[in-house]
With several copies, the nearest count.
Chain A
């Protein structure tokens, strides 16, 4: 049977996603971040803002704001959790798959929300490199 006729799992969240939606981590504004990046567009349904505080090339804190769905919020929580305490190089190596795997998977239709958080992180790291003059490894 063609996949398009069994759409039952296209929208379901894993327990992990729902847990991170209900009790998000690292949510909120950050005062004096080293770098801030915004991605997305409210017209398209979501917008994501990431704050990083980087000291000695290490991400000592990460926070985010989200105008988005549960997938967006959960991915933001997971992404910031995964990079906190890591070096900028390590954070640059983080893949989208690592994030979604850590979430126990995302419904196919919600993948673009995960990508948004990831893109914002990439943008923030690039900005940091540009600012600090360092190139990515």
Chain B
């Protein structure tokens, strides 16, 4: 029995997605810029994909730029807007709990002379809209806030924050990194009022190497990369057409029964949280409970033991989870998100993130719930630290 509970990091590709990709690899493999039939078929396919993806977020097809993933989409959004608007101002606002794909770009922009404010969050990961208001200046050209936190599942109140930003200055652009929230929570760029939004295919059972950036019509943005231009000057290079078509197929599959998917994930989530809290003492939930938590995310610390050891023990039973900062294990620092919500380092080190999708099966949750208590108990037995004293 296996349980893949690290869907927040990446997912397997749906067989129907693979099938779709195969078509664009073996049959309609043409280069979309050329006028012969194979080329126009490829171009028409990309147009269809553009429509599917635009539709899923309430945007227009021509507002979709295909990228190699959310990392690249975030980089284009942030630096592309910063460079194109530097004459209007050099101030950017983001939060302390963004994904590294946003934070690293902001740090780079700081080196290049931009000023970036990293907003604090409360103990559940929420940004207080008032803090945004306080930081806004006439120099603020861009605000970037993820709609769902990838580590602790906090669903940010983006709409309200956008309203505050736009009331202060219509021309301050708003970017949302939606890699963790896409297909987990409803997204409508019109309703939310955002100007740029990043998504990634491999988090929704689409292929790795495909993502998209929504760029509202009229947004002042310039390329950050240069070279051979095929369909889009904002993202040079021959399009990954099979990736794009696989992405679109994954979007169709994810949004076809969206409400049922959410309900399924909510059920898995409740079962997992209940099970952990019933069966294991000395646990700490990270992030909010209820409606304001992503249905796809559960994150607990198990006091007195260390996350990597839990991860590797669970792996011995075919269970895949993430620990600490799922995206920055390399730094060996406690997760920046857990630090930002005020979790003590010794607790943060024992944090385990379980993430799933609409395709995760209940029996995977049950398998985890069977193995986890034993693993925690075993590791606590060999730890010099008593959980009740932490």
The answer to whether A and B touch in the complex, with CB atoms under 8 Å apart, is yes
Is A8's CB within 8 Å of the partner chain B?
yes
In the complex formed, the residue of A with least CB distance to B232 is A5
A sample of 19 cross-chain residue pairs with beta-carbon separation below 8 angstroms, ordered by A number, consists of A1-B217, A1-B218, A5-B65, A5-B215, A5-B233, A6-B231, A6-B232, A8-B62, A12-B40, A12-B43, A27-B382, A43-B346, A49-B384, A65-B384, A67-B305, A69-B306, A69-B308, A69-B309, A73-B309
Closest Cβ of chain A to B285, distance in Å, is 20
Query: Would you give the 0/1 interface string for A1-25, flagging 1 where the beta carbon is closer than 8 Å to chain B?
Result: 1101111101111000010011010
Quick check: B345 and A44 within 8 Å, CB to CB? Answer: yes
Segment of B1-9, B132-140, B259-267, B326-334 in the binding face? B326-334
Q: Find chain A residues with CB under 8 A from B305 CB.
A: 67
Q: Are A67 and B330 in contact (CB under 8 A)?
A: no
Q: Least Cβ distance of B382 to chain A in Å?
A: 5
- The distance in angstroms between the C-alpha atoms of A4 and B232, with both chains bound, is 8
- B229 beta carbon closer than 8 Å to chain A: yes
- Asked whether, in the complex, the Cβ of A28 is within 8 Å of the Cβ of B345, the reply is no
Q: Are B384 and A48 in contact (CB under 8 A)?
A: yes
Chain A positions near chain B (C-beta within 8 angstroms): 1-2, 4-8, 10-13, 18, 21-22, 24, 27-28, 38, 42-49, 65-70, 72-73, 109
B383 touches A67 (CB 8 A): yes
B283 CB within 8 Å of chain A: no
In the complex, what residue of chain A is closest to B233 when comparing beta carbons? Answer: A5
On chain A, the residues within 8 Å of B308 by CB distance are 69-70
Residue from the list A7, A11, A70 in contact with B312, Cβ < 8 A? A70
Chain B contacts for A47, CB-based, 8 A:
383-385
A7 lies within 8 A of B330 (CB): yes
Which of A18, A28, A68, A73 is B381 in contact with, Cβ under 8 Å?
A28
Query: Are A68's CB and B309's CB within 8 A?
Result: yes
Q: Which of A2, A13, A42 contacts B346 (CB 8 A)?
A: A42
Report the minimum CB–CB distance from A6 to chain B (whole Å).
5
Interface residues of B in 374-390 (CB under 8 A from A): 381-385, 390
Residue pairs across A and B with CB atoms within 8 Å: the count is 99
CA of A79 to CA of B215 in the docked complex: distance in angstroms?
40
B353 adjacent to chain A (CB < 8 Å):
no
B43 in contact with A7 (CB, 8 Å): no
* In the bound complex, CA of A65 to CA of B305 (Å): 11
> Once bound together, how far apart are the Cα atoms of A8 and B217, in whole Å?
15
Q: Are B383 and A66 in contact (CB under 8 A)?
A: yes
CB distance from A3 to the nearest CB of B (A): 9
Complex contacts, A8 vs chain B, CB 8 Å? 32, 43, 46-47, 62, 231-232
Contact of B309 among A11, A43, A65, A70 (CB under 8 A): A70
Is B330 a contact partner of A109 (Cβ separation < 8 A)? yes
Number of residues of chain B lying within 8 A (CB) of chain A: 44
**B344: A residues at CB distance < 8 A:** 43
Contacts of A6 in B (CB 8 A): 62, 231-232
Task: Find the residue from A2, A38, A67 having the highest chain B CB count within 10 A.
Answer: A67
CB neighbours (8 Å) of B32 from chain A are 8
Complex interface: chain A residues within 8 A of B218 (CB): 1
- Contact check, B221 vs A2: say whether CB atoms are below 8 A apart: yes
Interface positions, chain B 212-240, Cβ under 8 Å from A, are 215-221, 223, 229, 231-234
Complex Cα gap A42–B304 (Å): 8
B349 at the interface (CB under 8 A from A): yes
Q: Is the CB of A66 within 8 A of B47?
A: no
B164, chain A: closest CB distance, angstroms: 24
Is B270 at the interface (CB under 8 A from chain A)?
A: no
Residues from chain B with a CB closer than 8 A to the CB of A22 are: 312, 316
| Closest chain A CB from B33 CB (angstroms) | 8
Residues 174-216 of B, flagged 1 when their CB comes within 8 A of A and 0 if not, give 0000000000000000000000000000000000000000011
Please, which residue of chain A has its CB at the minimum distance from the CB of B217?
A: A1
Interface centre among A18, A42, A48, A65 (most CB of B within 10 A): A42
**Contact B345–A45 (Cβ < 8 Å):** yes
Check B382–A42 contact: CB distance below 8 A: no
B35 CB within 8 Å of chain A: yes
CA distance A22 to B309 in the complex (A): 10
| Least distance between B50 CB and chain A CB atoms (Å) | 8
Interface residues of B in 40-57 (CB under 8 A from A): 40, 43, 46-47
